[in-house]
Amino acid sequence: MRAVVMNRPGGVEVLQYIQLPDPAPGPGQVRVELAAAGVNFMDVGVRRGMLWKDQSGPATLGVEGAGIVAALGSGVHDFKIGQRVAWVYAPGSYAESAVMPAASLVSIPDGIDDLTAAAVMMQGLTASHFTTDFYPIQIGDVALVHAAAGGLGLLITQIVKARGGKVIGRVSSTQKAAAARDAGADHVIVDKEGDFADEVLRLTDGRGVDVVYDGSGPSTFEGSLKALRRSGTFCWYGPVLGGPGPLDIMSLPKSIKLGYAVFLDHIPTVDALRTKSGRLFDWILKGHLRVRIGAKYSLQDAAKAHSDMESRASTGKLLLIP
Query: Which tens digit of pLDDT belongs to each residue from 295-307?
Result: 999 999 999 999 9
**Rounded-to-integer distance, Cα 185 and Cα 171, Å:** 11
State if pTM tops 0.75: yes
pLDDT of residue 64: 98
| Structure confidence by residue, pLDDT tens digits, 255-274 | 999 999 999 999 999 999 99
| Structure confidence by residue, pLDDT tens digits, 74-97 | 999 999 999 999 999 999 999 999
**Rounded-to-integer distance, Cα 315 and Cα 318, Å:** 8
Domains of the chain, by residue range, sit at 2-121+268-321, 139-260
- Whether the pLDDT of residue 229 is over 80: the answer is yes
- Is the separation of the CB atoms in 215 and 147 below 8 Å? yes
* pLDDT, averaged across the chain: 95
- Is the separation of the CB atoms in 88 and 63 below 8 Å? yes
Mean pLDDT of 210-224: 95
- Is the separation of the CB atoms in 212 and 143 below 8 Å? yes
| Structure confidence by residue, pLDDT tens digits, 110-166 | 999 999 999 999 999 999 999 999 999 999 999 999 999 999 999 999 999 999 999
- Whether the pLDDT of residue 192 is over 90: the answer is no
Phi, psi of 304 (to 5 degrees): -65, -40
**Rounded-to-integer distance, Cα 263 and Cα 58, Å:** 27
**Rounded-to-integer distance, Cα 155 and Cα 12, Å:** 27
Band (242; pLDDT cuts 50, 70, 90): confident
Exposure string (b/e) for 80-114, b if CB count within 10 Å is 16 or more? Answer: eeebbbbbbbbbbbbbbbbbbbbbbbbbbeeebeb
- Whether the pLDDT of residue 202 is over 90: the answer is yes
Determine the length of the chain: 322
Pick the CATH number of 2-121+268-321 from 3.40.50.720, 3.40.50.1360, 3.40.190.10, 3.90.180.10: 3.90.180.10
In CATH, what number does 139-260 get? 3.40.50.720
pLDDT of residue 314: 80
- Whether the pLDDT of residue 104 is over 80: the answer is yes
